């Protein structure tokens, strides 16, 4: 629903340019290890992460076909945005389309996040039944998400209904359907971390009970707009509570233009040297929805992402800066009432991306969140014969650049047993993968699986 982007613009416009963007986003970073000199953490495998974020998806129900009249009621018919021809839209986005999308993504190597709204627009709960579909159809749809999507896509709830706020004591919507009791608008304003966490946990439990584990959540529209610190902490608490997520993440923010960084923000880091380190990672999308929107509007098209010659577009800007490029879309517009306009745009965008860049790494949001948590929270100490890493989290393909005159092959030792891994040389930085190293002018790049605890990268 609208307003991620609008919120940010309004917030910036309303406060003038004097407030640092990080403050507008409500970030509290928490603990950090002392900075290291002589060793820098690079991107995973020295490549640029890319990921597609799909919002407003769920099993079978065409969420926004049912959400739009509810939004219209909330604003008492005063906003024409909510008066499109929703009655003519199909009630269902069929499993065949999930399969088509998933097959394309697998073939193209694409990964990302796919929302499953647990009680979509109050039509029915995925753990009880969807009026309008049989129990078998619901079961098949859930199975398709588990087996067809989960290998390459994180699953997020997008709160409980994406429309009305649910009274957790009854499981029913509150009577009030003004913005104060809609998930997209004001309900979070003035609420505590615990209240918001209980709400998120309710959504997560429905997904847990239908066999869809989550490491992250997505906010519907303006959820948390005026409660950003509470939202971040509540997301972490709820994901740890229901799924024991080690590195919980959430998607709330979008910056679709300009030079402000779109790198993930590792927030509320604490207890880094203890047995139970904690943080929550805010994932930031770098594009607007240019694929047909939440409401089947005319898509802005592939050129906004990347132009046909590969030289322009928002993705090119962000990838050239070396920052993770997270593309946003809404499932409604990806399907576009069966015309599949969003999917066609993605096919073209990904084709152009792969023609233009040979250094991309498609990752799930959870994989990017883990990498960024490890990148920012691992303590690094350069010593005469190597580099010592003290890691609160494990991280596959952890990749570093060490300034050193050494040109002998490095070895990695880790764990109480002192497991030794000899890294293999590669001759181009683009060939780096876990277990390899590459010599550069003033040192080496090395990529290896970083376990939790102590690890040494050294030269014998």
49 binds Zn ion (CB under 5 A): no
Residue closer to Zn ion (CB basis): 121 or 255:
121
Helix (H, G, I), strand (E, B) or coil at 42: coil
The contacts of residue 348 (CB under 8 Å, 6+ apart) are 302
Closer by beta carbon to Zn ion, 221 or else 277: 221
**Candidate list 43, 52, 55, 336; residue touching Zn ion; CB under 5 A:** 55
The structure tokens listed for 65 are 């076909």
Minimum separation from the CB atom of position 220 to Zn ion (A): 5
User: And the tokens for 313?
Assistant: 């577009």
Q: Which residues contact 155 (CB under 8 A, 6 or more apart)?
A: 113, 114, 115, 116, 145, 149, 207, 212, 213, 214
Listed residue (53, 56, 58) closest to 68, CA to CA = 56
CB of 432 to Zn ion, least distance (A): 36
Nearer to Zn ion, 71 or 181 (CB): 71
Comparison of 113 and 352: residue with beta carbon closer to Zn ion: 113
x/- mask, Zn ion, residues 438-457, rule CB under 5 A, reads: --------------------
Closer to Zn ion by Cβ: residue 223 or 371: 223
Nearest to 222 by CA among 7, 375, 428: 7
Binder to Zn ion among 220, 224, 236, 313 (CB under 5 A)? 220
The yes or no reply on residue 183 touching Zn ion (CB under 5 A) is: no
CA distance 23 to 389: 30
Q: Are 231 and 266 in contact (CB under 8 A)?
A: no
For residues 151 to 180, the per-residue mask of contacts with Zn ion, x marking binding by CB under 5 A and - elsewhere, is ------------------------------
Shortest distance (Å) from residue 294 CB to Zn ion? 6
| Residue range at the interface with Zn ion (CB under 5 A); choices 50-58, 175-183, 308-316, 360-368 | 50-58
Q: Does 56 bind Zn ion (CB under 5 A)?
A: yes
Using the rule CB under 5 A, is 118 a contact of Zn ion?
no
289 lines the binding site for Zn ion (CB under 5 A):
no
Stretch that binds Zn ion, among 52-60, 77-85, 238-246, 401-409 (CB under 5 A): 52-60
DSSP 224: T
Task: Give the tokens for residue 173.
Answer: 């919507």
Among the candidate windows 219-227, 231-239, 383-391, 451-459, which touches Zn ion by CB under 5 A? 219-227
Residue with the two structure tokens 């991107």: 43
Other C-beta atoms lying within 10 Å of the C-beta of residue 43 = 19
SS3 labels along 385-430: CEEEEEECCCEEEEEEEEECCCCCCCEEEECCCCEEEECEECCCHH
Whichever of 165 and 402 has its CB closer to Zn ion, that residue is: 165
Of 48-56, 304-312, 394-402, 410-418, the window that binds Zn ion (rule: CB under 5 A) is: 48-56
User: Which residue's CB is nearer to Zn ion, number 56 or number 376?
Assistant: 56
Which ranges in 256-328 belong to alpha helices (H)?
302-305, 314-320
Q: Toward Zn ion, which CB reaches closer, 56 or 246?
A: 56
CB of 187 to Zn ion, least distance (A): 15
To 5 degrees, how large is the angle CA 117–CA 118–CA 120? 60
Q: Supply the minimum distance, in Å, between the C-beta of residue 283 and Zn ion.
A: 14
The two tokens of residue 217 are 């959540």
The distance of closest approach from Cβ of residue 1 to Zn ion in the complex, given in angstroms and rounded to an integer, is: 6
As a whole number of angstroms, the distance between CA 22 and CA 384 comes to 37
Side-chain half-sphere of 167: how many Cα atoms within 13 Å?
A: 8
Q: Is 120 in the site for Zn ion (CB under 5 A)?
A: no
Q: Does 361 bind Zn ion (CB under 5 A)?
A: no
For residue 387, what is the enclosing H or E element? strand 386-391
CB of 292 to Zn ion, least distance (A): 14
Alpha helices in 31-134 (DSSP H): 63-74, 95-108
Least separation in angstroms between residue 158's CB and Zn ion is: 5
Contact 331, 53 (CB under 8 A): no
Contact 210, 127 (CB under 8 A): yes
Indicate whether 295 belongs to the interface with Zn ion (CB under 5 A): no
443-450 vs 395-403, strand pairing mode: antiparallel
* Nearest residue relative to Zn ion (C-beta): 55
- Number of residues this chain uses to bind Zn ion (CB under 5 A): 3
**Is residue 256 close enough to count as binding Zn ion by CB under 5 A?**
no
* Cβ at position 120, least distance to Zn ion in Å: 11
Cβ distance 282 to 408 under 8 Å?
A: no
44 vs 220 by CB, closer to Zn ion = 220
Nearer to Zn ion, 52 or 373 (CB): 52
| Structure-token pair, residue 311 | 């030289």
Q: Which residues make beta-bridge pairs with 326? A: 51
Check binding of 216 to Zn ion (CB under 5 A).
Answer: no
Positions that interact with Zn ion (CB under 5 A): 55-56, 220
């Amino acid at each position: 629903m609208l307003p991620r982007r609008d919120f940010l613009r309004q917030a910036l416009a309303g406060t003038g340019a004097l407030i640092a963007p990080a403050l507008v986003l409500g970030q509290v970073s928490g603990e950090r290890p002392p900075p290291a000199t002589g060793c820098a953490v690079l991107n995973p495998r020295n490549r640029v992460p890319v990921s597609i974020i799909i919002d407003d998806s769920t099993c079978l129900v065409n969420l926004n076909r049912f959400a739009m009249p509810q939004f219209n009621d909330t604003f008492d018919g005063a906003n024409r945005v909510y008066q499109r021809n929703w009655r003519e839209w199909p009630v269902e986005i069929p499993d065949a389309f999930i399969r088509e999308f998933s097959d394309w993504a697998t073939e193209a190597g694409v990964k990302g996040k796919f929302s499953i709204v647990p009680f979509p627009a109050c039509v029915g709960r995925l753990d009880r039944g969807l009026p309008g579909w049989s129990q078998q159809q619901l079961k098949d749809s859930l199975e398709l998400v588990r087996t067809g999507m989960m290998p390459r896509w994180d699953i997020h709830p997008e709160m409980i209904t994406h429309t009305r706020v649910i009274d957790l004591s009854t499981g029913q919507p509150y009577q009030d359907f003004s913005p104060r009791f809609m998930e997209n608008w004001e309900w979070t304003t003035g609420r505590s971390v615990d209240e918001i966490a209980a709400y998120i946990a309710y959504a997560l439990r429905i997904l847990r009970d239908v066999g869809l584990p989550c490491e992250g959540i997505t906010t519907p529209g303006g959820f948390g707009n005026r409660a950003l610190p509470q939202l971040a902490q509540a997301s972490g608490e709820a994901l740890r509570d229901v799924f024991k997520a080690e590195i919980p993440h959430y998607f709330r923010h979008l910056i679709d233009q300009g030079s402000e960084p779109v790198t993930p923000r590792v927030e509320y880091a604490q207890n880094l040297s203890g047995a139970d380190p904690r943080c929550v990672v805010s994932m930031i999308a770098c594009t607007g929805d240019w694929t047909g929107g939440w409401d089947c509007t005319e898509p802005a098209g592939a050129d906004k992402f990347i132009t046909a010659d590969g030289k322009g577009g928002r993705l090119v800007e962000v990838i050239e800066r070396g920052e993770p490029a997270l593309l946003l879309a809404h499932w409604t517009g990806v399907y576009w009432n069966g015309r599949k306009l969003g999917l066609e745009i993605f096919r073209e965008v990904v084709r152009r991306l792969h023609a233009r860049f040979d250094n991309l790494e498609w990752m799930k949001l959870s994989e990017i969140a883990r990498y960024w948590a490890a990148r920012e929270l691992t303590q690094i100490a350069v010593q005469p014969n190597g580099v010592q890493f003290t890691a609160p989290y494990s991280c596959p393909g952890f990749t570093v650049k060490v300034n050193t005159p050494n040109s002998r092959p490095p070895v990695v030792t880790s764990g109480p047993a002192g497991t030794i891994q000899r890294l293999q040389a590669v001759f181009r930085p683009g060939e780096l993968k876990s277990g390899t190293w590459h010599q550069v002018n003033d040192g080496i790049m090395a990529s290896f699986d970083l376990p939790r605890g102590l690890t040494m990268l050294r030269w014998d």
